Amino acid sequence: MSKLALLGGEKAVTTEPHSVGHHRSPMWESGKAADWEEFSEAFAAKMQVEYALPVSSGQVALNSALVAAQAGPGDEVIVPSFTWIASVSCIMHNNAVPIFADVDPKTYTVDPEDVRRKITHRTKAIIAVDLYGHPAYLKELLAIAREHDIVLIEDSAQATGAYVDGEIVGGIADITCFSFAGKPIAATSGGVMTTNSREYYERGALGGQHPSTLSKILTNSDLLKYASTGGYGDNHRIDRYAMTVAYEALETFEEANDARIANCDLLAQELSKVKGITPPYVEPGVKHVYHMFSSLYNEEELGVPRETFVKAINAEGVTALTYVNSANFLFHPGGKPMPSGPIHHRAVFQEKNVYGHGCPFQCPHYTGEADYSIGSLPVTEKLVDQEFNFLQPHLSAPNGPDQMEQVLDAVTKVVDNIGDLEGYQID
């Protein structure tokens, strides 16, 4: 009888398994496929922050951040309504209640003074959104968070590489969340949660990482006991292919940002001379990375509805849409107009019954009353009827001054002939 390999004998199986090898991309053989720890360290270094937790999407990064902040049943999280739904749905995913604050009319980011007014003893966190690539008022919000012992979470999905007073976003707030799909660091999917707090890093990982990952990064014995279930059971793990694509983009995204900023600065300068159009405002000391180029349309001055103006711009060859309101759905093939408006106007919040039985809004643990009434956020409700956006395909390299001139020509052509659109009906 042959000797067991464990005791020094020959192995019974002498060939390597081949079930996957012949399907592998050359990328894996080249050694360029990203390693989780290596990517985490590289991302943290680029964002000048202690810890980076790669996850499967920007929304999952926000979910992880709220797990880190220990937001849950009975808690409130303050967030703008002028945003994408992921900034808000993550709150309900954690069974907390969104409390909407109004936004600043110039930057479209959450108004610190309205945040202060909305804080109660139930407030667990603030989510500040860097909308369209312009950072929120992070220093002011951080001071408010410190004053009330709550957590400041920054949704920087659209603002990777933005700066405030010379400091890159990622380590200014208590926790910052990034997204990759269609964003400055472009990949098929994925996101990252960053923080300078070891506690937030470890608690955020409990949102759902592989047990082997948790066993490496968890140092808190009270948290380590959850490692064998991958934390609290969700799958927040980033896809390795997406991580590899993001790793490559990490080396070049700032150069791409700078090219887009140069284009947008030129476009803003020229559009400021066009009747009825207000180009983006940039706060002093801020580096705006222009995920979108958002302007305001003055219907009173130009005399036709914004949706008509936006459709005319599209007909001239420039992709334009409104991000928060219904026109967002009018320019996609097969898309149907649908009730929209700011987030607090949507059916989910008007009905207050996400999970059935009124939860989380009528959860027995919740003692407050969330106000989602129409008219409760006057600045937000005005902006959604004014804003329109140009998208990155027109703004980013290899586009340059010549392409910006064409975008400007399209806008001025429509404005100069705006009277021809009076009475035009959108199908």
pLDDT at residue number 327: 45
- pLDDT tens column, 301-315: 999 999 899 999 999
What token pair was written down for 325? 């309101």
Give pLDDT, residue 177: 98
- The mean pLDDT of 119-139, rounded to a whole number, is 98
- 183 tagged catalytic: yes
Does 19 have pLDDT greater than 70? no
pLDDT at 91: 98
Please count the residues of the chain.
427
Output the pLDDT for position 219: 94
What is the reported pLDDT for 14?
A: 84
> Is the predicted pLDDT of residue 192 greater than 50, yes or no?
yes
Residue 233 has pLDDT above 90, yes or no: no
The whole-number average pLDDT for the span 281-298 is: 97
Judge whether residue 197 has pLDDT over 70: yes
Q: Where along the chain do the CATH 3.40.640.10 domains lie?
A: 21-250
Assign 322 a pLDDT band (cuts: 50, 70, 90): confident
pLDDT at 117 over 80: yes
Burial 68-85 (b: 16+ CB within 10 A, else e): bbebeebbbbbbbbbbbe
> What pLDDT score was predicted for residue 105?
98
Average of per-residue pLDDT across 241-265: 94
Q: For position 391, what pLDDT does the model report? A: 87
Q: Residue 23: pLDDT above 60?
A: no
Q: Does domain 21-250 have CATH number 3.40.640.10?
A: yes
Asked if residues 55 and 78 have their Cβ atoms less than 8 Å apart, the reply is no
Average pLDDT, the chain: 91
Q: Flag whether pLDDT at 198 surpasses 80.
A: yes
- Mean pLDDT, rounded, for 133-153: 98
Which position has the higher pLDDT, 282 or 32? 282
pLDDT digits (tens, 9 = 90+) for 162-182: 999 999 999 999 999 999 988
Q: Can you give the three-state secondary structure of 96-140, one letter per residue?
A: CEEEEECECCCCCCECHHHHHHHCCCCEEEEEEECHHHCCCCHHH
Q: Which residues lie across from 181 on neighbouring strands?
A: 187
What pLDDT is stored for residue 334 in this prediction?
Answer: 63
pLDDT at 79 over 50: yes
Q: Does 10 or 371 have the greater pLDDT score?
A: 371
The residues of the chain that CATH labels 3.90.1150.10 are: 254-342+377-421
CATH number of 254-342+377-421: 3.90.1150.10
Q: What average pLDDT does range 365-392 have in this prediction?
A: 95
Structure token digits, residue 179 = 């997204």
What average pLDDT does the segment 122-150 reach? 98
SS3 content of the chain, % helix, strand, coil (to 5): 40, 15, 45
Extended strands (E) in 61-219? 76-80, 97-101, 123-129, 151-155, 163-164, 167-168, 175-179, 191-195
Tens digits of residue pLDDT in 328-351: 555 555 666 666 789 999 989 999
CB 90 within 8 A of CB 207: no
Average pLDDT score over residue span 29-50: 85
**Active-site residue, from 46, 118, 124, 183:** 183
Residue 80 pLDDT? 98
* pLDDT beyond 90 at 47: yes
CA distances to 40, 46, 248, 390 from 193, in Å: 10, 13, 19, 28
**Percent share of the chain, pLDDT over 90:** 74
Q: Does position 405 have pLDDT exceeding 50, yes or no?
A: yes
